[in-house]
Structure 1
Amino acid sequence: MSAQSSPSASAAVKQSTVFSILVAISSVHMLNDSMQSVVSALFPIVENSLGLKLGQIGWIAFTLNMTSSVLQPVVGILSDKKPAPWMLPVGMACSMVGMAGLAYAPNFWLLLLAVVFVGLGSAVFHPEGSRVVYFAAGGRRGLAQSIYQVGGNFGQALAPLMTIYIFVPLGQRGAVLGTFLAIAAILILLRVVPWYSVQLAEKGKPAPKAKPGGGTTVSLQPPLYSNRTIGFALSLLLVLVFARSWYAAGIGSFYQFFLQSEYGLSIKQAQVPLFLFMAAGVAGTFFGGILADRFGRKQMMLFSIAGSAPFALLLPHLPIEWVYPIIFALGFILQSGFAVSVVYAQELMPGKVGMASGLVTGLAFGMGGLGAIAFGTAADHYGLADVMVACSVLPLFGLLSIMLPKDRR
């Protein structure tokens, strides 16, 4: 490490955690993901009102994931070069347009177009939101990322409640209420954006580092890993997040239909296990970040994905009374490593926070949207029971976490 970079690294460690900004950006994350949840909450409604097949439901989920997630690395790369705080409220405005479109779309294709606007808004928000968290974290990266992700996971967990209390009584038109979520997010961002702009002015420029021959290069932090190690670890990390995303797509999009067909539950009753899974994920995300700061990122990711495998394998074969506690434990363990994987990627790629966050929460998660198409199409041809059994083996990919290099902070 160069003499010039040591003081800046030391200052970064000693920087205090700005909890007010973390809570604010986490709240916006909750509102953003709540708008995404409107899409999945509408699945059982539009299946009836628009006469959609499960394969078309899969295409809706795929479109949301592709636009909201796969574009994130692109936005992340651009924002790493030139951060733009104004992109945060612009993203929320895109989502607001999508909410209005969802409420009044008369057919499948216009519904997809509305979903694209919701996804674009999310794609714009996440990389810049992750950079806000990076600045506000101080020396507590795991905790800060967990606070941020808890907001998003809580927003996702609202989907079953929206189905029960909004869309079953009001139908598709109830989606227009989502525009108020966007307005609330923009109002909160009026506080966050000025603070973020100040941080960029003070700390956004990479610190100079000496180069042989008297010249200088710029680097936010000195490299912790070789390029070969980074490439291997990042590829493996994407496989792990990909597997988790495919499994989450199977549960989030189709498990409610499985409960209705196999257990005879009503639409409202089928939302309860889904809510337990997502609510447990909120708690798992928070405590996972705290535990990762103490025990390490790699260990937490191994526990998260591989540890959830036994519960996932059991879930399709349980009597209904056992579904509730098992799916709660499954959600808690599975999501305990999500925020951790983002921090691990950021530490693999210091100085490229937007791109690292976009890859983990964006590209890999978006590619998991392919699972929604695959599962929906397979369910139309082979039945939901076989699809749920096939889906249950995906967390076994978590055993590959053993091969990740040890995290270094």
Structure 2
Amino acid sequence: MATATARTAVLRTGTVYAILFAISSVHLLNDTMQAVVTALFPVFKDSLHLSYGQMGWIAFTLNMTSSVMQPVVGYFSDKRPMPWMLPIGMGLSLLGMAGLAFAPSFMFVLLSVVFVGLGSAIFHPEGSRVVFFAAGGRRGLAQSIYQVGGNTGSSLAPLMTIFIFLPLGQPGAIWGTLLAAAAIAVLLRVVPWYRTQLNEHGKPLKKGKASGASAGVPLTRRTIAFAMTLLVLIVFARSWYMSGISNFYNFFAEEKYGLSVRAAQVPIFLFMAAGVVGTFLGGVLADRFGRKRMIVFSIGGAAPFALLLPHVSLGWVYPVSFVLGLIIMSGFSVSVVYAQELIPNKVGMASGLITGFAFGMGALGAIVLGHLAEAWGLTKVMNYSSFLSLLGLLAILLPPDRRETA
């Protein structure tokens, strides 16, 4: 009863767009700082003479600290929300940005990346709870607004490589400290509102009877566990594939098409920029047509383009990468909302499992693909990794959500 009362109170407040756009802007700044790490790869390769395998370890360290720690933070913040941790997390990211600018060796780079990752791990579960309070009755739209900020930040990596890090080199990372400072400034305005919501409504999701994905048709614990496991596996496979695109496709494009370092960033930017649009549209369409349908569409629709991408001529690389990013990311924010509705008494942990653990465990892909690229060559790695998208078809086995059963 307490859970239902809290949820009803939140729904009656309506959608608070000012807060949604504020927390989305912080998400943008946070994920831009994470993108700085990837954007520095071509610079690190020359300045620190790193191998593909070492760059895989950098990506792994970033994702393990920023993502896999999220469900842990979410578990504890579900019990005791901590608004003040939001600016503190950004402070850790600020230290990481400063470290990247002056890191003299591979190990110092890893240490700096840990600070950036921990700041992100602290931000995401609390940020998801802010979105819950501000969403009102438009959960899909609210999560999309929030996620669009993060995806936009991630998509800036190729542009930062072209316009900042290639001209300025490693010291250019010091500009990332301004991103952290801006995020802290915004959060100092969000935190009082967030604290007020906690005082008025209590924790957004207190312990109560599990309702599952479909309102009015309770799911058993076994069904919920099966669905969450399946969902984590789907996001895991998608993140392995996207790890290959974001970390290594530029090197593949240089080898196969003879592109310059700058030109090889363009397909990655198109893929990520299209993903921003897809994330927003997916959330809006999911509110209308259902969460599961959008998840299945995002995987089934993307698989043919993923299989085609390594084989097309240069002229087709650009439209194929754009359409692929648009479709495959249309199910990302929807997956988060679906997970939250499966275990509605644990918003932070559900968000952490999908945006954190499942997506972060895909960081293993950066290491595996990096070492395989050294052993087999990038062409084989790109060809084989494209089949990962087919694992997403397991989404067909997910239980229907509440819009499909209505």
The TM-score bracket by the shorter chain reads over 0.9
Q: Does residue 362 in structure 1 map to residue 360 in structure 2?
A: no
Query: Is 2:309 aligned against 1:315?
Result: yes
Match of 1:72 among 58, 63, 70: 70
Residue 166 to residue 379, structure 1, CA distance change in 2 (3 Å): same
Matched, 1:63 2:61: yes
Contact 1:207 1:220 in 2 (8 A): no
Give the drift of 1:202: 1.0
Name the residue aligned to 1:105.
103
Q: Contact between 2:373 and 2:381, CA under 8 Å: does it hold in 1?
A: yes
Counterparts in 2 of 1:206 and 1:172: CA distance versus 1, 3 Å:
closer
| Residue of structure 1 in register with 2:289 after alignment | 295
Distance 1:5 1:128, change over 3 A: closer
Task: Provide the residue aligned with 1:283 in structure 2.
Answer: 277
Q: What is residue 241 of structure 2 aligned with on the other side?
A: 247
User: Are 2:302 and 2:328, in contact at CA under 8 Å, matched by a contact in 1?
Assistant: yes
Give, in angstroms, the shift of residue 179 of structure 1.
Answer: 0.1
Question: Following TM superposition, by how much is the alpha carbon of 1:76 offset from its aligned partner in structure 2, in angstroms?
Answer: 0.2
1:82-104, Cα deviation, whole Å (9 max, x unpaired)? 00001100110000000001000
- Hey, what's the Cα distance between the residues in 2 that align with 1:129 and 1:55? 33
Question: Does 1:219 find its partner at 2:217?
Answer: no
The amino acid of 2:130's aligned partner reads: V
Q: Are the aligned partners of 2:6 and 2:204 in contact in 1 as well (CA < 8 Å)?
A: no
Q: Are 1:353 and 2:342 counterparts?
A: no
CA distance in 2, matches of 1:245, 1:206: 29
Which residue matches 2:377? 383
Scaled by the length of structure 1, the TM-score of the pair is: 0.95
Q: Per-residue deviation at 1:408?
A: 1.8
Residues 319, 6 of structure 1: alpha-carbon distance in 2 compared, 3 angstrom cutoff: closer
Contact 2:52–2:371 (Cα < 8 Å) also in 1: yes
Q: Quick one: structure 1 residues 50 and 198, their matched pair in 2 at CA, closer, same or farther if it must change by over 3 Å?
A: same
| Aligned counterparts of 2:340 and 2:297: Cα–Cα separation in 1 | 20
Give me the identity figure in percent.
Answer: 66
Match of 2:88 in 1: 90
Contact 1:5 1:221 in 2 (8 A): no
CA deviations over 1:141-196 (Å, ceiling 9, x no partner): 00000000000000000000000000000000100000000000000001100000
Q: Quick one: distance in 1 between partners of 2:338 and 2:158?
A: 31
Contact 1:378 1:387 in 2 (8 A): yes
Question: Would the aligned equivalents of 2:133 and 2:204 in 1 still touch at CA under 8 Å?
Answer: no
**Quick one: distance in 1 between partners of 2:99 and 2:223?**
45
The answer (yes or no) to whether the contact 2:7–2:205 under 8 Å persists in 1 is no
The AA in structure 2 aligned to 1:24 is A
C-alpha distance in 2 between matches for 1:6 and 1:357: 20
* 8 Å Cα contact 1:105/1:111 also seen in 2: yes
Match of 2:224 among 224, 230, 246: 230
Match of 2:393 in 1: 399
The amino acid of 2:50's aligned partner reads L
User: Would the alpha carbon gap of residues 5 and 388 (structure 1) be closer, same or farther in structure 2, given more than 3 Å must change?
Assistant: closer
Structure 1 residue 397 displacement after superposition: 1.0
Name 2:39's counterpart in structure 1: 41
Report the 3-state secondary structure (helix = DSSP H, G, I; strand = E; otherwise coil) of the residue aligned with 1:370: helix
Q: Structure 2: any 5+ residue segments left out of the alignment?
A: 213-217
Preserved CA contact (<8 Å) 2:24 2:148: yes
**Match in the other structure for 1:214:** none
Asked whether 1:259 is paired with 2:257, we answer: no
Please identify, of 235-244 and 8-17, the stretch whose mean Cα deviation from structure 2 is larger: 8-17
In the TM superposition, residue 205 of structure 1 has moved relative to its aligned partner by: 4.0
State the match for 2:14 in structure 1: 16
Instruction: Say whether the 8 Å CA contact 1:220–1:350 is kept in structure 2.
Output: no
Match of 1:212 in 2: none
Is 2:26 the counterpart of 1:28? Answer: yes
Aligned to 1:330: 324
Asked if structure 1 preserves the Cα contact closer than 8 Å seen for 2:283 and 2:334, the reply is yes
**1:308 aligned partner, one-letter code:** A
Alignment of 1:128-277 (within 5 A): 128-205=126-203, 218-219=207-208, 222=211, 224-277=218-271
> Aligned equivalents of 2:4 and 2:172: distance in 1?
55
- Residue 10 of structure 1: CA displacement? 4.3
Residue 267 of structure 1 aligns to a residue in which SS?
coil
The Cα shift of 1:305 comes to 1.5
Task: State how far apart, in whole Å, the 2-side matches of 1:6 and 1:359 are.
Answer: 23
1:123 maps to: 121
> Is contact 2:67–2:359 with CA below 8 Å preserved after alignment?
yes
Over the residues paired in the alignment, what is the CA RMSD in angstroms? Answer: 1.5
Per the alignment, residue 299 of structure 2 pairs with 305
Separation in structure 2 between the aligned mates of residue 5 and residue 181 of structure 1, nearest angstrom = 37
Of the three residues 332, 335, 345, the one matched with 1:341 is: 335
1:59-117 CA distance string (max 9 Å, x none): 00000000000000000001001000011001100000000010000110110100010
**CA separation in 2, counterparts of 1:129 and 1:207?**
15
